[in-house]
Amino acid sequence: MQHLKKQIKQQREFYNTQKTKNTAFRKTQLKKLKKLVTDYEKEIQEALQKDLGKPNFESYLAEIEFVLQELRYTLKKMDNWVKPQKVNTPVLHFPGKSHIYHEPFGCVLIISPWNYPFHLAIAPAIGAIAAGNSVIIKPSEHASETALLLEKMINQNFEPGFFCVILGEIEETRFILGQKFDYIFFTGSTQVGKIIMKASAEHLTPVTLELGGKSPTIIDSTANLEVTAKRIAWAKFHNAGQTCVAPDYIYVEDSVKDAFMEKIKSVLVDFYGTNSLESPDYGRIINKRHFDRLTKLLDNADIAFGGQTNREKNFIAPTILNNASWDDAVMQEEIFGPILPVLEWNDENDLIQQINRRPKPLALYVFSDNKTFIKKIIQETSSGGVSVNEPLSHITSVHLPFGGVGDSGMGNYHGKYSFYTFSHAKSVMRKRFYPDLSAKYPPFSKINGTMKKILKIIS
Ligand code: NAD
């Protein structure tokens, strides 16, 4: 593990040179990254195809274009973000001046998962670099082709002390976590998030935890079922259901349940044909461990559509489960695969209570044409974010912060929120030597309450 120790030491030494404090340096690095992402587009798609059977169009939209959008926006806006922000100064400190400086934390560690292995490694790094940190990425070992490509792209093109990729499995990650960092940005499961938070507590290192959860998808009787079914099928079966913000389960008003079931079944045939194993537009499960975990959820389930599996090919067809209940195995944990249970509701207060009894999800979706119902759902439930009438859309906006709450995480990023996540807000007040208010100095008996009177006047 000595090479890892050396690498981390190099990062600190580089950070201490002050080079990253220069905005022009940061922009040059981000421009270089942008060019690399464009130059490597084909190789990125090939790696994602090998790791997850991702269709090229899906890879382009959700991994490459997503990162390019963050890069373009950050390069356009960061001159404004880095400027110290002038704020008011209390009269007591007249004629002082107050500013908030956005200071980089220092050496940042980014630990990323396998489901969007390119996007989720690079997107946080953009914010970390824009904010002036040195960065180490530890990608997931399970998306090994993408991890190797990331190592090649970054390590061959950036100063190793400034920006590098470290490969490793759990043992290496544990070792890395034992070292001192100034900020840790973790994307992954809630279970591992707890390990990360414990390890970072040893060094009092601040963390962002981007975790998962069961994202509810509510449909009421006013929803346009045609569009609803299409959008849900697209969001759920994108990347074969291995998306942190995928609709985890459907909660549909009982009066429209049968109609919804028919619509989504027909949409799935339109999307992937009658044999989704042959569809070039449908992905694969990452590995046998997850394949076995997911197929077990199908035992004794009421399969309304799909259900076909092929272990050799890590294939599970888009699957809809009818008559699901809160006691089913599939409703106990985040599914993270192409299985969509459907539950029904008929009382909106009970629906809200059921959701609020469970851990806070990363996302919540509501399909409805009823403004009062939508408002009630947004106000009376808690989740990382909400999209109304289209799942996933809130996470694709550079203007909205993306992150979880409670069990689904803490902190957020994207656009300016990434910059602020990786910056310490340092308060700076500048004063002159004169005037020098003597009333505040001891011995206090001399001032006979003068200071109190002044405070009362100016407050
Ligand atoms: P994971 O938690 O198993 O792994 C994530 C990272 O942690 C990997 O780099 C892995 O090497 C490392 N890791 C795993 N076990 C570890 C341990 N014991 N000690 C130290 N490091 C360890 O997650 P995953 O399976 O890669 O991804 C799936 C999970 O991630 C799902 O729960 C999903 O919802 C969540 N996720 C969240 C987001 C988000 O933005 N909030 C995005 C994608 C995925």
Look at strands 97-104 and 85-87 and give their pairing: antiparallel
End-to-end CA distance of the chain: 59
Of 397, 241, 254, which Cα lies nearest the Cα of 319? 241
- Say what the pLDDT of residue 447 is: 65
- Class of 2-211+410-425 in CATH: alpha beta
Q: For residue 14, give both structure tokens.
A: 């580089």
Residue with the smallest CA separation from ligand 1 atom 17 is 170
Q: What is the DSSP letter of 443?
A: P
- Say what the pLDDT of residue 423 is: 98
Pocket test for ligand 1, best of 137, 138, 140 (most atoms within 8 A of CB): 140
Length of the chain: 459
Q: What is the largest CA-CA distance in the chain?
A: 91
Q: For residue 407, give both structure tokens.
A: 């069990």
- Tokens 């382009």 identify what position? 60
In a 3-state reduction of DSSP, which class is residue 7?
helix
Q: What phi and psi, each to the nearest 5 degrees, are found at residue 419?
A: -60, -45
111 lines ligand 1 (CB under 6 A): yes
As a dihedral over the C-alpha atoms of residue 222, residue 380, residue 406, residue 423, rounded to 10 degrees, the angle is 90
Fold classification of 216-403 is Aldehyde Dehydrogenase; Chain A, domain 2 (3.40.309)
User: How many Å apart are CA 445 and CA 397, to the nearest integer?
Assistant: 60
Q: For residue 362, give both structure tokens.
A: 């990363």
pLDDT in tens, 19-31: 999 999 999 999 9
Domain ranges of the chain: 2-211+410-425, 216-403
Give 83 Cα–ligand 1 centroid separation in angstroms. Answer: 34
In the set 244, 253, 334, 344, the catalytic residue is 244
- Say what the pLDDT of residue 438 is: 76
In the set 210, 253, 334, 344, the catalytic residue is 210
Could you check whether the bond before residue 443 is cis, i.e. omega within 30 degrees of 0? yes
- Say what the pLDDT of residue 446 is: 65
Q: Which amino acid is at 133?
A: N
Q: What is the DSSP letter of 402?
A: B
Give 136 Cα–ligand 1 centroid separation in angstroms. Answer: 16
Nearest atom of ligand 1 to the alpha carbon of 168: 11
Point out the residues of the chain with pLDDT beneath 70.
446-448
Q: Is 210 a catalytic residue?
A: yes
Cβ 386 vs Cβ 394: under 8 Å:
yes
Using CA atoms, how far residue 229 sits from 240, 344, 352, 366, 390, in Å, is 16, 15, 22, 12, 10
User: How many Å apart are CA 352 and CA 350, to the nearest integer?
Assistant: 5
Q: Is 226 a catalytic residue?
A: no
Q: For residue 296, give both structure tokens.
A: 């077990």
Nearest atom of ligand 1 to the alpha carbon of 245: 34
User: How many Å apart are CA 10 and CA 8, to the nearest integer?
Assistant: 5
User: How many Å apart are CA 383 and CA 379, to the nearest integer?
Assistant: 10
Helix (H) or strand (E) holding 306: none
Pocket test for ligand 1, best of 4, 112, 187 (most atoms within 8 A of CB): 187
Within 10 angstroms of residue 382's Cβ, the number of other Cβ atoms is 13
